[in-house]
Amino acid sequence: SLNKVFYQFMLLVLNMEHELVKYLVQGSTISKGRDQASVKRLFMDILRNLNAFMGDVSNVDDALLNQLKQLRSYAEESISALETHQILNVLSRESDGPYILQFPFAFPEGVRMQDIYIERENEQGKDDEGKGASFRMTIYLDLDQMGEIALDARFQGKKIDCVFHCQNEDISHFVGNNLDELKVKLEGAGYDVGGLQCLVEENVHIMRQEYLARQPFYNRLALNLFA
């Protein structure tokens, strides 16, 4: 039924949030024995139930049917993308590279999938002062109105430091004027904000190219069978 499909989408959203938070805090991936709650498994359940529901659509409204077809297409594409990212992450982690996550981001021009790179900077779980594992999260955005922006954030427990790199002074000034509000929201969420700053970097695209060039998995030969 449609109620089951919507319920599974709720599980999907909650599971994605839970697993990301768990990785940032514990440095762990999806728990063993939790395959039934994995993102890929939930998408497969959604697709199976959609196909079953759409087996007889004689009494389904045309507008609803079009939405269900779009939903089915999205589920199919998501499963394919997840399988591709599973392979990429295996290759990356074998070479001590970052985890590559892909999440939908809401931009003014619409929703787009965005790559997020997460690295665990001290594999032993604690730094020299015993403060716990630290992580680096890197995101590169290419926005229609604001141009290219790089986000470089570091987490250690509840402490966070973040640097934005913008292409020109105007965009840097705009982002900088919103950092105080961002700090308040992060502190409201329980984070200890160590520092937030915005720097001008004209060649953000070169930053991205150099970052990817440093990753071992980008220097390996591979054939993409999903293309």
Band of residue 158 on the pLDDT scale cut at 50, 70, 90: confident
The chain-wide mean pLDDT, for the chain, equals 76
Q: Is the pTM of this model over 0.75?
A: no
Token readout for 220 is: 């390996």
Please state, in angstroms and rounded to a whole number, the distance separating the CA atoms of residues 145 and 107: 10
Which tens digit of pLDDT belongs to each residue from 36-84?
456 777 778 878 888 887 777 677 788 878 888 888 888 888 788 777 7
Distance CA 102, CA 82 (A): 9
Residue that is written with structure tokens 């141009």 in the block: 147
Q: Do 39 and 12 form a contact (C-beta atoms < 8 A)?
A: yes
Query: Using 50, 70 and 90 to split pLDDT, how confident is the model at 11?
Result: low
pLDDT band at 179 (very low <50, low <70, confident <90, very high): very high
Pick the CATH number of 98-227 from 2.60.120, 3.30.750, 1.10.10, 3.30.300: 3.30.750
Instruction: Name the nearest CA neighbour of 206 among 154, 167, 162, 174.
Output: 167
User: pLDDT tens digit string along 78-114?
Assistant: 788 777 777 777 777 777 778 887 777 777 666 677 8
- Residues 118 and 135: their CA atoms lie apart, in Å, by 7
Who wins on pLDDT, 14 or 52?
52
- How many residues in total does the chain contain? 227
Which tops the pLDDT comparison, 16 or 40?
A: 40
Using the predicted structure, report yes or no on whether residue 16 has a pLDDT greater than 80: no
Q: Kindly list the domain boundaries of the chain, sorted by start residue.
A: 1-94, 98-227
* Distance of alpha carbon 66 from alpha carbon 169, whole angstroms: 45
